[in-house]
Chain A
């Protein structure tokens, strides 16, 4: 009989992990600061992997620190006059500024031209955007027209944690844009 209680406890554990995922993301969505990330031009021929769109941002920064692959870092953000956000600087400690993301290094290399300059690439936490399976084939064609255009991603950030919200093209939701195209 005791085994049945253990089984119930296991079930609760199994449910709690996805529930925690929801809780974490909902907190970010509710309390987060909204920023708009200009994304790199979408490569129309390599836009889709299955049912998601690959989102690329300028996630490589110059740094004078020597870093290692996998190392935990904090990246601060800056917003330009048009209201678009980009990555600003890399820190090893939690920065004072309110807007930053927690991340880790995915690639690091150095060049020596007189002085040593390091380049670090890091995880952004938003490199995927899932699209409905019915829209996906149409989206592929639409993306070809959107290459090099003003596409941006709305993201919410709280205490370094990120949740992507919505992909836009000129204030138009990307899903609506794709639907209107066809």
Chain B
């Protein structure tokens, strides 16, 4: 229910009670529900954004002001000025927290505090000409924000935190010792995702989900990638399956597709992975792959090996979700989900077989067929559900398999060109005809 309709109902409610349509008990429960809906929407995206932008502007302005004409002041004064934004932010945050101010206030003061921690550290570094070390700077900053996650609800703060830990991961490069703290930071973010964000605020949840997806993926790539790059054959499908499963589960709370980035990213990445695995070149690594793989594993440090736990956890969660969905949603009917989510299973079988036998051609053929079948399934379900999105996705998958394999063959360019034009025309024709048909049926149904 949106705020507007809740207000309308609240307005009409006394009249309904007076005319005896509803009794006292129903009246109070409806009133309670509607007022809850109104207050809930107070935590909306707009207010959060305004608070965040104001904080960024004011914080940036203060820093510009005090950083201007630096060396005309004595050092003690410069140091005092460096602390001003942080003290300002902390005071604001203290009062918003103490007086239980609105979420916009909280947002504003939390962002000011978060940013001014970074500002004070870098200003002091500047005053003392301390050599720059971005990695350590980011780490100190992240650690100083961390305790606030458990006390303060601010969307801007958690996004800054998430972004900062990503930058920290990238600056640290191949330093393997940072991966455990990084997973801890991701853990804090997951905690915040679960408890720190209002459950009904799906806009904010969607944005934060994107950050978490990027964080999770980067952490796995740099963590397991440190052991052996060949693991990419496995963890990429595992990640995509996990995102699909989480997205489908998240949708149980009746959210639209575009507020469910996990689902979108999951399905699209699954298709991209299948497509890239459908080339023979990618499997030609087989010639040196098993030997290097065993070598990499035996060389990997203990910390790096711990990283392998993360995909296992992801697989377990995926299985849990599938299991739960089978019971609650009659998953047998959701063929699309089932067919996409088994991608890591196929990838694992191929991967294990590849370690022993030279089956790179079989691997390539398998993924061609798999992508083709996925395309047919997606398209057919799309036809059944009258969803142009699914129909087109299915057609794109089927034609991409055909076109790519066709491209590999030695047919002349003239023939290739003609085939492309024909395929394109078929695409357009089908879309035109279907959309017309769907519209006609809609009109008929309305009549």
Contacts and interface: CB of A to CB of B under 8 A. Distances in A.
Contacts of A52: 126, 129
Nearest to B116: A14
A119 to B, nearest CB: 21
Interface residues of A, number: 32
Which of under 10, 10 to 19, 20 to 34, or 35 or more describes the interface residues of B? 20 to 34
A24 to B, nearest CB: 9
Interface of A: 3-4, 6-8, 10-11, 13-15, 17-18, 21-22, 25, 51-52, 123-130, 132-135, 163-164, 175
Nearest to A70: B175
B171 to A, nearest CB: 15
Given A3-B151, A133-B67, A128 B144 contact: no
6 contacts: A14-B144, A18-B120, A127-B132, A130-B126, A132-B71, A164-B128
Interface in B57-79: 67-71, 79
Provide the main secondary structure of the chain B interface: helix
Interface of B: 67-71, 79, 82-83, 86-87, 90, 93-94, 97-98, 113, 117, 120-121, 124-132, 140, 144, 147-148, 151-152
Given A3-B151, A132-B69, A17 B128 contact: no
A164 B127 CA distance: 10
Given A11-B90, A128-B130, 13 more contacts: A3-B151, A6-B151, A7-B93, A10-B151, A15-B87, A18-B86, A21-B121, A126-B131, A128-B132, A130-B127, A133-B67, A133-B68, A164-B129
Given A123-B131, A130-B126, A17 B147 contact: no
A75 B247 CA distance: 56
Contacts of B130: 21, 25, 128, 163
A129 B121 contact: no
A72 to B, nearest CB: 15
A68 to B, nearest CB: 13
Contacts of A130: 70, 126-127, 129
A132 B131 contact: no
A127 B132 CA distance: 8
Nearest to A28: B128
Contact of A128 (B79, B131, B147, B148): B131
Given A15-B86, A17-B144, A21-B124, A4 B67 contact: no
A22 B124 contact: yes
A13 B68 contact: no
Nearest to A165: B129
Contacts of B140: 17
Contact of B147 (A4, A13, A132): A13
Task: Please indicate which of the listed interface residues A14, A15, A52, A132 has the most CB atoms of chain B within 10 Å of its own CB.
Answer: A14
Contacts of B152: 7
Contacts of B125: 21
A140 B82 CA distance: 27
A125 B131 contact: yes
Contacts of B69: 132, 134
Contacts of B90: 11, 14-15
B97 A163 contact: no
Contacts of B132: 127-128
A34 B115 CA distance: 35
A53 to B, nearest CB: 9
B129 A129 contact: yes
Contact of B121 (A8, A18, A133, A134): A18
Contact of B82 (A17, A18, A51, A134): A18
B131 A13 contact: no
A7 B131 contact: no
A11, A15, A123, A134 interface centre (most CB from chain B within 10 Å): A11
Contacts of A175: 71
Contacts of B82: 18
A20 B130 CA distance: 14
Contacts of A6: 147, 151
A126 B129 contact: yes
Contacts of A128: 129-132
A14 B86 contact: yes
Contacts of A51: 126
A7 B124 contact: no
